[in-house]
Amino acid sequence: MRAVHAKAQVPATLLFWTLTDEVIERPEVLERQFHHIRESGFGGVAAFVRCSRYTWHDPLARKALKTIGKLCKQYHIQIWIGPDPRFVSRKLIMPSGGLEVILFGDRARADVFPNLGPVVNGAFSVRCDISPRHVHTLQEVAIEYAPGGIERLYALRMNEDSLTPVEVQDVSPYARLFYNARDHYVEAFGKLPARFQEGEWKALAFFRASTNHVDFADRAQMRRYLEMVGDLKAEGCHADGLMWDEPGFTCTYGTLPFSPGIRKSYERLRGRTVGPELWKLALESEDGSHVRVRAAYYQAIQRVLNEANLRFMREAKRLWGPGTVSGIHDTWHFESADMCDMNHGSLDLWQAGQSKTGGFVDLGGIDKLRDSAAPWNAHLAAMSVICASLGRLSAGRYAYNNLWTVGDDDGQGWQATVMDHCVNTMALFGTRWLAHCYGPVGTIGEESSFLGSPPMPGYPEHSTWPFFPVWNRRLHSHVAAVGQKLPESNVLVLFPVEALYALAGPAADRAANMIFELLLALLDSHYHVDVLSTSACHGALWSRGELVLGDHRYRAVVAPFATAEQSSSLHLSGKKPVFFLHSMAMPDRKRVGGTTTEGLLQWLAYIPGIRPVSAPSGSWTSMTRVREGMVVTLSPSRHGYRYTGNVSLDGETVELLEERGGLTRILFPRSGEPQVLPNSADFSI
């Protein structure tokens, strides 16, 4: 594990604070908001210049950040700041130009991808809408796309299911480009030779465009960026932590970053240029060669992003000291089981975690958890487990969930009870809370919603705001009770990044959803689970029937959608406690995997001691080793659930006589009787 030099213990809760024009321009507003946050019990602020006409590098914004830093020092709370390069993109991309992308869908955030046009009597036409795309990660509110030509045009003869080409011809010389500036679309059109007039052919175009988005792979841009970060320090801005906001290239399915730096990274990984194989990023090949092409390309995207983030954090630690905290979550669309994060450069959360001092995830839309049967419960389970796993792997051994809700409840009160359920869940997993957010949640022109969401006025204008003092006390209390530690785990689920790269689309999303549901089933059955990617398992060894990684020992390994390379690299075959869930060479595009979770649970039940804690149904449980013994924590497994009954560990039993709907901690000491620990921060409406 990496060493960490802590300036101070990281707080149990921080609040994301949006620094708007008003906050930047009016010191009295800044100070009033600061004290409002502080008096609600937060241990720090994550200050971002967002939803503002200013950038964080503007002199007025730097002055505001400096003032906040002084206030945080005065009142002994932490300040994390967010000098994300995308919020100063315009300055960084001059004069070299912004990120280059290729588009092969119907629009930048594609609904149809790949977008195939018919070839009729040799004539073809394929269009792509390149209207500006509204995003929250750019200070300019949207990504603009300037047409740069047609990178490649292919003629395809498809198989019977119209999913895989049986013949591919590069017909780029026959393609002409038309750009409709008024209607914001590009069109590839033309006429193919006579041979393409026989049979059924499709046309696939890869359009090239430049953007106003910073290119993380451009060393000159990133050098300018680090100089701007240095200006913050020179200004006297104090920072306990620095972070980017959901780091990445802001590309979804149908759009790929295509800058020279990424293409060079691909060439180093693959040993050849991507051009001749470009179509395999959009369509599967009959011989399966698309798997290696996609793996290399998505690894190249992630590699250049990770390198840029690491260089930033090295500079931040040089400027602000080696104990400076680094990180915010890389789960951009991941929380929704939308695996387009591979296009963004952040799908392998564990590899991205190398630039973080802790583990970080995001989970929004928790309003959906009001329904105990809602599919979103699997997302809460998955993000909670993954958050703790990233934290255990990190240098600092702590983890944060950037958890937030959507909409409000018209005074019905259920928003607060759902949030309370989530606070208990965060405590159960030993994770801390980066709450979201004080001030506008959106962008200029859409301040009170998040990219088209239902109304989200932001704190303090929300029904849950009055309860934060209770929730903050509860999380502070729990983190102290478990000695600042994360819970233990003995079952490892391997997250199949390699298989998802190969699927690269709706099939990848379906596979991820199945993994999220698997994690929910494991928690409901009271297993203690870790989730790691293959890249995080380098150095793992098998010893006495257990997989050993650092100071972690796993009694069982679950490998959903395992690839042959993954199985080989981790030596999963043979007489080892490994369960290959949905095991097939590659999940079918139409039906991903099978329903074998029940078989997994039956298999686990035969492993002696695999489930050390026995707990009542309707609860989730964790166990955290402390100096005095083991703390077993329980919380309801769903919003509105209650539990009662026996809790056992190593032959010792505690009977919970009354139904409980909140957090329960039980200390099983090294010697003596187990005892239920007090919870001093109960919740009521």
pTM of the predicted model as reported, rounded to 2 decimal places = 0.95
For residue 279, being part of any structural domain is answered with no
Let me know: does 567 contact 561? Beta carbons within 8 Å.
no
Report which DSSP code applies to 446: B
Domain boundary among 182, 211, 240: 211
Element (H, E) at 169: strand 165-170
Domain boundary among 188, 211, 234: 211
At residue 446 the predicted structure's pLDDT band, cuts being 50, 70 and 90, is confident
For residue 339, being part of any structural domain is answered with yes
pLDDT digits (tens, 9 = 90+) for 389-424: 999 999 999 999 999 999 999 999 999 999 999 999
Q: Verify that 239 and 384 share a domain, yes or no.
A: yes
d(CA 238, CA 55): 18
pLDDT digits (tens, 9 = 90+) for 486-507: 999 999 999 999 999 999 999 9
Q: Transcribe 191-246 into DSSP letters.
A: E--GGGGSS--EEEEEEEEEESS--TT-HHHHHHHHHHHHHHHHHT---SEE--SS
Asked if pLDDT for residue 591 goes beyond 80, the answer is no
For residue 69, being part of any structural domain is answered with yes
Considering just the CA atoms, what is the radius of gyration of the chain in Å?
A: 26
491-495: strand order across its sheet:
529-533, 491-495, 556-558, 578-579
Give the side-chain half-sphere CA count within 13 A for 660.
Answer: 25
Asked if pLDDT for residue 614 goes beyond 50, the answer is yes
Residue type for 502, please?
A
Instruction: Find the range with the poorest average confidence among 224-233, 466-475, 556-565.
Output: 556-565
- Strands (DSSP E) contained in 41-164 are 44-49, 78-81, 100-103, 116-120, 123-129, 133-134, 142-143, 145-158
The whole-number pLDDT of residue 365 equals 94
Q: β-strand 399-403 against 359-363: which pairing, if any?
A: parallel
Among the listed residues 56, 475, 70, the one whose alpha carbon sits nearest the alpha carbon of residue 231: 56
Q: Spell out the residues 6+ positions from residue 234 whose beta carbon is closer than 8 angstroms to its own.
A: none
At residue 592 the predicted structure's pLDDT band, cuts being 50, 70 and 90, is very low
> What is the percentage of the chain residues whose pLDDT exceeds 70?
96
For residue 6, being part of any structural domain is answered with no
Instruction: Find the range with the poorest average confidence among 282-291, 455-464, 673-682.
Output: 673-682
Q: Verify that 168 and 121 share a domain, yes or no.
A: yes
Asked if pLDDT for residue 8 goes beyond 70, the answer is no
Q: Transcribe 410-430 into DSSP letters.
A: TT-SHHHHHHHHHHHHHHHTT
Q: Verify that 617 and 589 share a domain, yes or no.
A: no
Q: Verify that 522 and 652 share a domain, yes or no.
A: no
Q: Which residue shows structure tokens 């958050």?
A: 387
Domain region containing 102: 92-211
Q: Spell out the residues 6+ positions from residue 284 whose beta carbon is closer than 8 angstroms to its own.
A: 163, 164, 290, 589
Please state the rounded mean pLDDT for residues 616-624: 98
CATH code, domain carrying 472: 3.20.20.80
At residue 583 the predicted structure's pLDDT band, cuts being 50, 70 and 90, is low
The whole-number pLDDT of residue 569 equals 83
d(CA 82, CA 226): 13
Top pLDDT among 5 and 112 is at 112
Please state the rounded mean pLDDT for residues 193-202: 92
Element (H, E) at 532: strand 529-533
Q: Verify that 82 and 98 share a domain, yes or no.
A: no
Q: Verify that 228 and 366 share a domain, yes or no.
A: yes
Alpha helix segments (H runs only) across 26-139: 27-38, 59-74, 89-93
Q: Verify that 337 and 463 share a domain, yes or no.
A: yes
Domain count, the chain: 4
Give the pair of three-digit tokens for residue 427.
């405590």
Q: Verify that 623 and 596 share a domain, yes or no.
A: no
Q: Verify that 414 and 343 share a domain, yes or no.
A: yes
Q: Verify that 293 and 396 share a domain, yes or no.
A: yes
- Average pLDDT value for the chain: 93
For residue 241, being part of any structural domain is answered with yes
Let me know: does 572 contact 562? Beta carbons within 8 Å.
yes
pLDDT digits (tens, 9 = 90+) for 625-647: 999 999 999 999 999 999 999 99
The whole-number pLDDT of residue 684 equals 60
Let me know: does 633 contact 624? Beta carbons within 8 Å.
yes
Let me know: does 566 contact 534? Beta carbons within 8 Å.
yes
What are the CA-CA distances from residue 621 to residues 46, 618, 637, 665 (Å)? Answer: 30, 10, 9, 10
Q: Spell out the residues 6+ positions from residue 1 whose beta carbon is closer than 8 angstroms to its own.
A: 393, 395, 550, 551
Query: Residue 348, class by beta-carbon neighbours within 10 Å (0-12 exposed, 13-18 middle, 19+ buried)?
Result: buried
Among the listed residues 579, 535, 543, 539, the one whose alpha carbon sits nearest the alpha carbon of residue 561: 579
The whole-number pLDDT of residue 59 equals 98
Asked if pLDDT for residue 20 goes beyond 70, the answer is yes
Report which DSSP code applies to 536: G
Q: Verify that 100 and 130 share a domain, yes or no.
A: yes
Task: Work out the end-to-end distance of the chain between its first and last CA atoms, rounded to an integer number of angstroms.
Answer: 43
Asked if pLDDT for residue 594 goes beyond 60, the answer is no
For residue 273, being part of any structural domain is answered with no
For residue 588, being part of any structural domain is answered with yes
For residue 271, being part of any structural domain is answered with no
Q: Using the CB atoms, write b or e for 565-585: b if 16+ within 10 Å.
A: ebbeebebeeeebbbbbbeee
Domain boundary among 605, 623, 652: 605
CA torsion 372→454→465→403, rounded to 10°?
60
Q: Verify that 364 and 450 share a domain, yes or no.
A: yes
